[in-house]
Structure 1
Amino acid sequence: MVAGYQAESVWAERTFAPLASDALKPSEKVDLAIVGGGILGLSSALHAARSGLSVRVLEAAHVGDRASGLNGGQVIPGLKYDPDWLLQHFGEKRGESLARFGASLADGVFDLIQREELDVPVQRAGWIQAAHSEAALRAIEQRATQWIARGVPAKLLSAAEVTRLTGARGYHGGWLDPRGGAIQPLAYTRELARVAVDAGARIAENTRVTALKRENAAWVLKTADGRSLSAKGVIIATNAYADALVPGLARTLLPLHSFQIATAPLSDALLSSILPEGQVVSDSRRIIIYYRKGPNGRLLLGGRGSMSDPADASAWAHLEHALKRLYPALTSVPIEKRWYGRVALTLDHLPHVHEPEPGLLVAAGCQGRGIGLMTGLGPRLVEYFVTRDAELLPFPPTPIRPIPFHAFRNIGIGAAIAWYRLVDMLEK
């Protein structure tokens, strides 16, 4: 992570078999090159290899070292926006397609784990969105009503029901979406890599792509160690770790740090009163807090943190404060794990798909739903690459439009996080 403080995720407690990493050979040629070995890149690689394409995945670090293996593991259905909004803003045809795509995302993850027999711990008791204010509760009621009208057996929750299901204090109510759940994200990412390799994809770890250029009918990718790869098409799956490889891409995204903590294993008495039925929770705050039970009887809690890399454990103090506010009984329970990863948001809170040139595809912007979204988006990108049928893409490709004054983003985002955190605290 950073010099001066060793951050370690709870997911890394598990031992994984070495990945069959395959170093890039000089001047290789493939049908599809994928830059980034996270969930999007690996989902794309698996589908492409199963479709008969030759595939190379180039990962700058190790598979699972970044956001795909460091997130909270919550699998949340839907998109940031609800079905009615999608229909209003995209029209009947595209809006309905987006709503169906969002509705399929959680099922897609759990079905893939079962179908491929992935060695991934799963808990699927549903997702609770808890309202921190009366205004938030009204918005949540509208969301739940829309999904119930679409046949989802969701349930509106009173304040008392939220308290019973979470054991947490201070919520006004919420809703329970049974489609949601949780996985072990590092195991999921590593297992995606394993089955992609078994299907014929080849993965090169510690291989940073430093240049990308169109030459005649192919794309040529240059790596930091001076090697090259020629491909008919390229998928850029770097998300929040986007750099200058695609001009302007990094300046379309707002990179944030998602910080997380894990308690020491809890006693049976505490476990019986905290999330007794195993749901995952995220609340309605502008700077959301999300939590779940983790391995070995721990409670895991996360939220947005400092824009700078942490130097010591105090960088997680805001999460420890939130934990004690929600669960006063945990005040004396030690925090044993602290970690963080980088996530990417977009200004319109929608995932973006770009095709700057034919055969060069980019997808980025998870909005807190990366596991389901990137699992589902990968096959769609591959199908579009093969068929050129734009109807297969859930999100219409848009031009790369850098955010104005992007260089000042850290100052602005840091100030906004502090302000919204204060508003969330005062709001009733």
Structure 2
Amino acid sequence: MTKHVSSEPDSLWQASAGERFTAPDLQGERSADLAIVGGGYTGLAAALSAASQGAEVVLLEAERVGHGGSGRNVGLVNAGLWLPPDAVAARLGQGPGEALNATLAAAPDRVFGHIAQHDIACEPQRAGTLHLAHAPGGLRDLRRRAQQAQARGAPVAVLDADETARRTGSDRFHGALHDPRAGTIQPLSYARGLARAAATAGARIFEHSAVIAAEHHGGQWVLRTDGGKLRARRLLMATNAYHRPAGGARLPDLPLVNFFQIATAPLGDNIAGDILPGGEGCWDTGTVMTSLRRDAAGRVILGGMGAGGQIHEGWARRKLAHLLPRLAEAPLAHVWAGRIAMTGDHLPRILRLGPGGLAVFGYSGRGIAPGTVFGEAAAHALLTGDETGLPVGAVDSHAEALAALRTLGFEMAARMVHMVAARI
């Protein structure tokens, strides 16, 4: 086995993960019923589902399991997408749109079900989430979202400013939308726990095994890495925002949004006991979004759009002091960043790569619960040849206009906002 130098971020999740998982790199030739490229939530959920059904599964990860967005995100297990449910139905059509709404409304059940079934040590907290109104217009938007969700039977509620202040410990918000179906996890530990469960079920997982070539011939997919070759009847490409080009399995260029986070050192209840005392995870209605949560050790974690660096980190320190003045001098222990694949309409895509090949991408920041259910559904479709259970219909092509320019635009917008915001 080749020795590799770690390229993992210095994130809180790396430092606090309760789950451990390591795997060798691919050497020599292997075969499988299903090849999976990408060791994030989508690929790992697919591997666990397929192996549990008796399929021969091989998963290839270019770095370490959870290296990409699955190990860098906020850890919010949300029900639904960024889009309000009416918009999902309008863009996909009534039947497919409402089917997707229903699937994703129940998706947190799948996540927390896996955690319980496989005893994953990922600090699960199902206290719901708070979508925070950063301005009066944001509260109006939340009321519309609540009405749409309630019309579909969701147990969501709009909170006034006083109740929001009690639940968050901050008086800076105009209200919030509480969704009790949702929750928080330690995101890297969840990915590693899925990997452990998949390996126990019989999946063979290889880390540090980047695919450098992929082609389909003779009724099989043939994947090559620096050290080996894999042949499989079916292929799932689950690389999303961390895709590396491989000849024969090209994915469309996607607009990418950078998102970074800061975490304080653990804080005692005398300092932070009234900050999110119920354990909810939060994000706000700002166009350049901010997230806020705590972990099991009492660290306060704030995130925002941007790639990190002096401008963004300076803003984050000011923002934390603005929302929670008593944390103005709280020591910071970790700063890290990741990438989000953001489709133009904020809807995920399932792309046919060729015979027996699918790619899943474009969660637009909602990767944990959708990634879990999309991965399971993609594995079933590939093994059975029946695509009717896919959460969205598979397409033969997809393109995002001006992807690189939009990526640059997102970062520049975040920089501009963070240069002038929260200077108090």
What TM-score results when the alignment is normalised by the length of structure 1? 0.91
Instruction: Give the stretch that moved more between structures: 341-350 or 204-213.
Output: 341-350
- Inter-CA distance 356–248: structure 2 relative to 1 (3 Å threshold): closer
1:322 to 319, 333, 344: 319
2:398 to 360, 383, 401: 401
The question of whether the paired residues in 2 share the 8 Å contact of 1:20 and 1:197 is answered with: no
Cα displacement string for residues 67-112 of structure 1 (whole angstroms, at most 9, x for unaligned residues): 2112111111111222222222322221121110110111211111
Within the alignment, does 1:165 sit opposite 2:167 as a pair?
Answer: yes
Q: CA deviation at 1:423?
A: 9.9
Q: Which amino acid aligns with 1:316?
A: E
The question of whether the paired residues in 1 share the 8 Å contact of 2:216 and 2:248 is answered with: no
Find the aligned partners of 2:189 and 2:321 in 1 and give their Cα distance: 29
The question of whether the paired residues in 2 share the 8 Å contact of 1:285 and 1:424 is answered with: no
Q: CA deviation at 1:257?
A: 2.0
- Inter-CA distance 422–98: structure 2 relative to 1 (3 Å threshold): farther
1:147 to 146, 149, 153: 149
The question of whether the paired residues in 1 share the 8 Å contact of 2:234 and 2:383 is answered with: no
- Inter-CA distance 149–254: structure 2 relative to 1 (3 Å threshold): same
Q: Which amino acid aligns with 2:365?
A: G
Q: Which residue of 1 aligns with 2:240?
A: 239
CA RMSD across the alignment: 2.4
Find the aligned partners of 1:24 and 1:316 in 2 and give their Cα distance: 38
Find the aligned partners of 2:420 and 2:314 in 1 and give their Cα distance: 18
How many matched pairs?
418
Find the aligned partners of 1:329 and 1:88 in 2 and give their Cα distance: 45
Unaligned runs of 5+ in 2: none
SS at match of 2:273: helix
- Inter-CA distance 219–108: structure 2 relative to 1 (3 Å threshold): same
Within the alignment, does 1:264 sit opposite 2:265 as a pair?
Answer: yes
Q: CA deviation at 1:425?
A: 7.1
Cα displacement string for residues 366-414 of structure 1 (whole angstroms, at most 9, x for unaligned residues): 2121111101111100111122222211111224333334343443232
Structure 1 residues 372-387: aligned runs within 5 Å:
372-387=369-384
Instruction: Give the stretch that moved more between structures: 60-69 or 323-332.
Output: 60-69
Q: Which residue of 2 aligns with 1:50?
A: 52
Q: CA deviation at 1:150?
A: 2.3
Structure 1 residues 11-160: aligned runs within 5 Å:
11-14=13-16, 19=21, 21-160=23-162
Q: Which amino acid aligns with 1:252?
A: D
1:356 to 345, 349, 353: 353
Find the aligned partners of 1:152 and 1:368 in 2 and give their Cα distance: 21
Q: Which amino acid aligns with 1:239?
A: N
The question of whether the paired residues in 2 share the 8 Å contact of 1:248 and 1:401 is answered with: no
The question of whether the paired residues in 2 share the 8 Å contact of 1:345 and 1:366 is answered with: yes
Find the aligned partners of 1:352 and 1:169 in 2 and give their Cα distance: 39
Q: Which amino acid aligns with 1:181?
A: G
Instruction: Give the stretch that moved more between structures: 236-245 or 405-414.
Output: 405-414
- Inter-CA distance 43–246: structure 2 relative to 1 (3 Å threshold): farther
Q: CA deviation at 1:256?
A: 2.4
- Inter-CA distance 15–79: structure 2 relative to 1 (3 Å threshold): closer
Find the aligned partners of 2:215 and 2:9 in 1 and give their Cα distance: 37
Cα displacement string for residues 171-205 of structure 1 (whole angstroms, at most 9, x for unaligned residues): 11121110111011111111111010000000111
Instruction: Give the stretch that moved more between structures: 52-61 or 338-347.
Output: 338-347
SS at match of 1:391: coil
The question of whether the paired residues in 2 share the 8 Å contact of 1:82 and 1:99 is answered with: no
The question of whether the paired residues in 2 share the 8 Å contact of 1:253 and 1:344 is answered with: yes
Within the alignment, does 1:282 sit opposite 2:298 as a pair?
Answer: no
The question of whether the paired residues in 1 share the 8 Å contact of 2:125 and 2:185 is answered with: yes
Structure 1 residues 222-237: aligned runs within 5 Å:
222-225=224-227, 227-237=228-238
Find the aligned partners of 1:175 and 1:297 in 2 and give their Cα distance: 23
- Inter-CA distance 421–144: structure 2 relative to 1 (3 Å threshold): farther
The question of whether the paired residues in 1 share the 8 Å contact of 2:351 and 2:398 is answered with: no
- Inter-CA distance 362–423: structure 2 relative to 1 (3 Å threshold): farther
The question of whether the paired residues in 1 share the 8 Å contact of 2:213 and 2:248 is answered with: no
The question of whether the paired residues in 2 share the 8 Å contact of 1:286 and 1:424 is answered with: no
Within the alignment, does 1:294 sit opposite 2:291 as a pair?
Answer: no
Q: Which amino acid aligns with 2:366?
A: R
Q: CA deviation at 1:65?
A: 2.6
What TM-score results when the alignment is normalised by the length of structure 2? 0.92
Q: CA deviation at 1:318?
A: 2.0
Q: Which residue of 2 aligns with 1:391?
A: 388
- Inter-CA distance 20–368: structure 2 relative to 1 (3 Å threshold): closer
The question of whether the paired residues in 2 share the 8 Å contact of 1:286 and 1:420 is answered with: no
Q: Which residue of 2 aligns with 1:332?
A: 329
Find the aligned partners of 2:90 and 2:405 in 1 and give their Cα distance: 33
SS at match of 1:318: helix
Find the aligned partners of 1:154 and 1:266 in 2 and give their Cα distance: 30
Q: Which amino acid aligns with 2:268?
A: S
1:342 to 339, 344, 357: 339
Cα displacement string for residues 155-181 of structure 1 (whole angstroms, at most 9, x for unaligned residues): 111111111110123211121110111
